[in-house]
Amino acid sequence: MSVAASPALPLGDHLCENGFECVEILPSTNDAHGGVIVDLKDPMDPEIFASLLKSSLLQWKKQRKDGVWIKLPIELVNLVEIAIKEGFWYHHAEPNYVMLVYWIPKTGCTIPPNASHRVRIAAIVLNDKKEMLVVKEKRGKFHGIGVWKPPTGVVDAGEEIFEAAIREVKEETGIDTEFLEVLGFRQEHNIFFGKSDLTFLCMLHPLSFDIKRQELEIEAAQWMPFEEYAAQPFNQKHESFKYTIELCIAKMERVYTGLCPRPVSSFFSKDLSYVYLNTKDLDKSS
């Protein structure tokens, strides 16, 4: 390998070995799994990037690295094609960046997969008159079929499930609630670009009663007698919605226990986590 360091390439790292060789490579950090991460932030001339990428891959191969990650902010989209032509592929993308990846060893690639699921909540809010909080939506698959349904919504990355349920009810109907428990959940496949959906059916207790619907997404909202909600032909026809009705009935009869959140510290993350458990049964244990 030649001595390639040059003041014309001001953006790379200089890597010197044994005092003899000096080659310029992309700035990178090591990850915890034997790979390297390149997190480019500033613009780079495409020809310089192409040259640095080639010399970097040679170095990383010598160093027996395995996975190579390159994060390119959307402003550096002009470098994506160069990396793909060098053998990289897409790992994931978010609105403002794309993450490219490459696997150096000839043995099996253990690059972990991208996020695979969307998480949703459906919020069962029953008041003391056995009325259920229901909405009609302006968009989506429920629009135009005349069905009254519980408030539903997406749990964002970083958001707690019980907090998402409280937030969605408040956003769609203006009703304040306290969270009681997760009654159960449903997993569905191939909903959205081949990903899977996990929907947590949550039970909440209303703390206010005057509905103020969100006008952008919600056509109508009301407190509906539970019997009337359950009798909708749509709910009788679709198995997963029939279970919602059965769970509500069991809950009103006080014979059903779901899972309640308890805060815990996490081994994997600095952020607060929650476990969801049948705390009623757990408290019976010695």
- Interacting positions 55-114 with its own copies (CB under 8 A): 74, 77-78, 80-81, 84-85, 89-99, 108, 110, 112-114
**For its own copies, which is the closer residue by CB, 63 or 240?**
240
CB of 69 to its own copies, least distance (A): 9
Rule CB under 8 A: which of 27-56 touch its own copies? 32-33
Residues 56 and 23 sit within 8 Å (Cβ to Cβ): no
CA distance 53 to 40: 12
- Residue from 17, 178, 188, 228 binding its own copies (CB under 8 A): 188
**For its own copies, which is the closer residue by CB, 2 or 190?**
190
- Residue from 31, 86, 197, 219 binding its own copies (CB under 8 A): 197
CB of 14 to its own copies, least distance (A): 29
CA distance 102 to 62: 15
- Considering CB under 8 A, how many residues would be counted as binding its own copies? 93
Contact between 155 and its own copies (CB under 8 A)? yes
Residue 272, amino acid: L
- Residue from 10, 19, 141, 215 binding its own copies (CB under 8 A): 141
Strands 97-103 and 117-125: unpaired
- Number of Cβ within 10 Å of residue 220's Cβ equals 12
CA distance 107 to 66: 10
Q: Find, among 246, 200, 218, 254, the residue nearest to 133 by Cα.
A: 218
> What are the Cα distances from residue 274, in Å, to 107, 194, 228, 263?
37, 28, 35, 4
Contact between 137 and its own copies (CB under 8 A)? no
**For its own copies, which is the closer residue by CB, 18 or 187?**
187
Residue 72, amino acid: L
CB of 229 to its own copies, least distance (A): 16
- Compute CA 242 distance to the chain's CA centroid, rounded to the nearest angstrom: 28
CB of 272 to its own copies, least distance (A): 8
**For its own copies, which is the closer residue by CB, 29 or 240?**
240
H or E element: which one contains 180? strand 177-192
Residue whose token pair is 């937030």: 167
Region binding its own copies by CB under 8 A among candidate stretches 18-26, 48-56, 155-163, 220-228: 155-163
Region binding its own copies by CB under 8 A among candidate stretches 11-19, 54-62, 221-229, 243-251: 243-251
Helices (H), the chain: 46-62, 80-85, 161-173, 226-231, 233-237, 239-252, 279-284
Rule CB under 8 A: which of 247-286 touch its own copies? 247, 249-250, 253, 255-259, 262, 264-271, 273-278, 281-282, 284-286
